[in-house]
Structure 1
Amino acid sequence: MTTAIIILAAGKGTRMKSNLPKVLHPLAGRPMIAYSLDLARAVGDLPPIVIVGYKADEVKAAVGSGVTFVEQTEQLGTGHAVMQAEAALAGRADIVMVYAADMPLITSATLQRLRQAHTASGATITMLSVIADDPRGFGRVVRGEDGRAVAIVEEIEATEAQKAIRELNAGVYCFDADWLWPALKRLRPSPRKGEYYLTDLVGLAEADGRRVEVVTTETPEEVLGVNTRVHLAEAEAVVRRRTNQALMLSGVTLIDPDAIYIQPQVQVGRDTVIWPGAALRGETRVGEGCTIGPHA
């Protein structure tokens, strides 16, 4: 089955307090959106669709070739954003996977697991959830008496009882493509914000008697969404830890990993020793058996 990826990258990112589009803020030496593109190329079968809007020309220039850009001229919500991709994708894919470019920590293993669950169950929608005490603005997954997901309620629309739900919508979906495109036309603007929510498709699928499946991630950090510079720093710390752990497992000694900064593009040979305070960036290459001294 052919999988197409849609990356949502049209938003301004008001809470970043920046003139730079949110998805272009650097994360460990790369634009944040680069991580989403890496995933799309690893999991998808077609060039990824990137929905652009705010400062679209800047985003296009940073992303470059190898993708299909679709412009959302008015930012009217996630459902509206995906509507814009119909002309580019209709009839070309069996599964449409959607996620946002401000979630750079998701792993390809999780996306593969989501897709496998989707195809194995024959679901119309398969979504990723996370159990967490801090909702960080995520929508809540509402389940029926039988335990099946029946709706997603955005935080701004949620009742106090719904806000107490700890199962959160992570904003990553697999859709049956043949059902998706006509279903999007049935979305209606939300009462409070006037936006078309992609999450309302869960309720539509339930009303249609369709199967909705949920895959819950066991590593909450990977669905950390970046909406502020505080979130960006948190994501940077995760990327840094993952990078350092991968290097140590490959045979590199880091004397004090928490005091060493290495960007993911850096290559280091085995039996190299790196002392605290070192900072290795960009396309740096270090051979085998080297020593990088303190504060180098």
Structure 2
Amino acid sequence: MTDSRLAIIILAAGQGTRMKSETPKLLHHLAGIPIVSHVLATARELDAVHTVAVVRHERDLLVDVITEQLPDGLVVDQDEIPGTGRAVEQAVAALPADFDGDVLVMNGDTPMLDVQTLAGLVDEHRRSRASATLLSAFLPDPSGYGRIVRHTDDDASRADGSAGRVDRIVEHRDATDSELAIAEINAGVYMFGVSELRDLLPQLSTHNAQGEKYLTDVIELLRRAGSDVSALAVAESWLVAGINDRAQLSEAAAQMNALIIRGWQLAGVTVQDPATTWIDLKATLEPDVTILPGTQIRGATTIARSAVVGPDTTLVDCEIGQGAIVKRTDAELAVIGAGATVGPFSYLRPNTVLGAGGKIGTFVETKNAEIGAGSKVPHLSYVGDARIGEQSNIGAATIFANYNGIVKSHTEVGSHVRTGSHNVFVAPVTIGDGAYSAAGTVVRKNVPAGSLAMNVAPQRNLEGWVASHREGSAADLAAKRAEAAAADNSTTAAPVAPDSGE
């Protein structure tokens, strides 16, 4: 049910300069979707009555993602005044004037933060009746993070290692040496009462090392007013890890991938080598699927029960049928039927459909190709812009010549067709049901059902050509030795006795 007393503010206005990328930081992908999409999905599950996203840099690109996932959310553009305090100030101003509940503030670059942790923060804030409640974490190296400074005269201890009430939060650049030694850091996730924010946000200033309005200064203002501020430490620090550069992105990707793989393992999927297997968040696997080492399952790929994928395979937005085997294959937007086999060293381009029990074999490339049930393209072939019926076999080294330099055309191959090795089908062309083609045939016109297609070109042997054109070469010498040996064999052969008639 919708929480009528909860509003969520998502801070997504940062430039992300440390990524050193033309792509906005929050749109870099993690487990197959943008970083910010993880945060948006978590916010959506909390089912707040209001959700506000604050944007600035590359705002149009971000807004497209935000509105797709949160169509009822509000989008606010941060103005020229920098800082998280200013961003929240503008977001609060966008909330309805009659909203008097709690505000959850979260960052767009903390994708690992889950619903359970945030729901715990909401519950703790409401239980303690504090004016503000924040998430904290203990890091072995807290460099770059704001430190949580607690009351030193408070002896109350906690199981998570923290002690004392929260006094203030000091940013790394503004911290003294003793404050820099503090291991407890601010995770940048807060719960406030909206009335406190409306009163205190206008009081923030930019008189600090970075010339920004810090949201953390609200904590100090609350403490000066005698209000209670509490902090809830997370169980694992990676839950609140922000992503600011490519190194942190890869660390988050590894952590999330490990969680995804463990989830599938517990659901009945065999992953032989989790260290070399990558599975995107949108992928779906059924029980008894086996994933072999060096495999990437990308996008919205679905893999049915008992299929075996890998080793060294990449599938992007593919559909793999029950019991199919796909090894050492690169495939995108392909459908592989139940019991079919693909690979090794196959390349399936978009709109490839392989029917049940079919085969795409070694060093075969397909594109926009429909291959019927039980049909086989075993090796060394290219099938593009074509449809092959059922139970047909395409000979080795066959090329579907679909492009004439101007347009691409279609080839139709019927059912129970047998084509010879080293064929070329020059599109557009149709090969009827039950037809055959001879080895080395170039098919330029339609082949009727039950016919044999062949190019009638008798073989010619020009005797003595090597001797006259390559005299003295190794080939010439070898040929002369062979001719001499044949002549010796013919003269030394034993005579055949005449038939006595007995």
Same structural fold, with TM-score higher than 0.5 when normalized by the shorter chain: yes
Supply the AA of the counterpart residue of 2:53.
Answer: V
Supply the AA of the counterpart residue of 2:26.
Answer: V
State the partner residue of 2:98: 91
In structure 1, distance between residues paired with 2:129 and 2:49: 21
3-state SS of paired residue (1:141): strand
Q: Equivalent of 1:275, from 265, 282, 292?
A: 292
State the partner residue of 2:85: 79
Cα gap change, 1:99 to 1:136, in 2 (>3 Å): farther
State the partner residue of 1:233: 250
Matched, 1:217 2:234: yes
Matched, 1:185 2:202: yes
State the partner residue of 2:32: 29
Q: Which has the higher helix share?
A: 1
State the partner residue of 2:42: 39
Measured against aligned partners, the alpha-carbon deviations of 1:174-211 in whole angstroms (never above 9, x if no partner) come to 00111111110111213222111000111111111111
Quote the offset at 1:46 in angstroms.
2.4
Gaps of 5+ in 1: none
In structure 1, distance between residues paired with 2:81 and 2:280: 33
Do the aligned partners of 2:295 and 2:311 also contact (CA within 8 Å) in 1? yes
In structure 1, distance between residues paired with 2:301 and 2:176: 51
**More off after superposition, 43-52 vs 151-160:** 43-52
Matched, 1:14 2:17: yes
State which structure, 1 or 2, has the greater radius of gyration over its C-alpha atoms.
Answer: 2
State the partner residue of 2:189: 172
Q: Which has the higher contact order (CA 8 A, sep 6+)?
A: 1
State the partner residue of 1:207: 224
In structure 2, distance between residues paired with 1:266 and 1:47: 30
3-state SS of paired residue (2:232): strand
Cα gap change, 1:143 to 1:209, in 2 (>3 Å): same
In structure 2, distance between residues paired with 1:94 and 1:173: 14
Supply the AA of the counterpart residue of 2:201.
Answer: L
Do the aligned partners of 2:27 and 2:34 also contact (CA within 8 Å) in 1? yes
Do the aligned partners of 2:140 and 2:183 also contact (CA within 8 Å) in 1? yes
Q: Equivalent of 2:141, from 121, 134, 154?
A: 134
In structure 1, distance between residues paired with 2:291 and 2:179: 49
Supply the AA of the counterpart residue of 1:108.
Answer: V
Do the aligned partners of 2:37 and 2:65 also contact (CA within 8 Å) in 1? no
3-state SS of paired residue (2:60): helix
Matched, 1:105 2:112: yes
Quote the offset at 1:273 in angstroms.
1.0
Supply the AA of the counterpart residue of 1:283.
Answer: A
In structure 2, distance between residues paired with 1:121 and 1:137: 30
Q: Equivalent of 1:120, from 127, 137, 151?
A: 127
3-state SS of paired residue (1:46): strand
Quote the offset at 1:69 in angstroms.
0.5
In structure 2, distance between residues paired with 1:225 and 1:170: 8
Matched, 1:292 2:295: no
Pairwise CA RMSD: 1.2
Q: Which has the higher strand share?
A: 2
Q: Equivalent of 1:68, from 74, 82, 94?
A: 74
Quote the offset at 1:64 in angstroms.
2.7
3-state SS of paired residue (1:84): helix
3-state SS of paired residue (2:48): coil
3-state SS of paired residue (2:265): helix
Measured against aligned partners, the alpha-carbon deviations of 1:230-257 in whole angstroms (never above 9, x if no partner) come to 0011111111111101101111110111
Quote the offset at 1:47 in angstroms.
4.4
In structure 1, distance between residues paired with 2:308 and 2:50: 41
Matched, 1:247 2:247: no
**More off after superposition, 58-67 vs 69-78:** 58-67
Do the aligned partners of 1:143 and 1:149 also contact (CA within 8 Å) in 2? yes
Do the aligned partners of 1:95 and 1:175 also contact (CA within 8 Å) in 2? yes
Q: TM-score, normalised by structure 1?
A: 0.97
3-state SS of paired residue (2:186): strand
**More off after superposition, 104-113 vs 72-81:** 72-81
Do the aligned partners of 1:255 and 1:275 also contact (CA within 8 Å) in 2? yes
Do the aligned partners of 1:142 and 1:149 also contact (CA within 8 Å) in 2? yes
**More off after superposition, 43-52 vs 137-146:** 43-52
Q: TM-score, normalised by structure 2?
A: 0.58
Quote the offset at 1:136 in angstroms.
4.0
In structure 2, distance between residues paired with 1:136 and 1:104: 20
Cα gap change, 1:136 to 1:266, in 2 (>3 Å): farther
Do the aligned partners of 2:6 and 2:50 also contact (CA within 8 Å) in 1? no
**More off after superposition, 125-134 vs 188-197:** 188-197
Do the aligned partners of 1:53 and 1:75 also contact (CA within 8 Å) in 2? no
Measured against aligned partners, the alpha-carbon deviations of 1:120-150 in whole angstroms (never above 9, x if no partner) come to 0101100000011211411000001211111
Cα gap change, 1:114 to 1:172, in 2 (>3 Å): same
3-state SS of paired residue (1:64): helix
Alignment: residue pair count: 296
In structure 2, distance between residues paired with 1:180 and 1:44: 21
Measured against aligned partners, the alpha-carbon deviations of 1:95-142 in whole angstroms (never above 9, x if no partner) come to 100011111111111101101100001011000000112114110000
Do the aligned partners of 2:143 and 2:172 also contact (CA within 8 Å) in 1? no
Do the aligned partners of 2:132 and 2:228 also contact (CA within 8 Å) in 1? yes
Quote the offset at 1:155 in angstroms.
0.4
Structure 1 stretches of 4+ with a deviation exceeding 4 A read: none
In structure 1, distance between residues paired with 2:272 and 2:92: 52
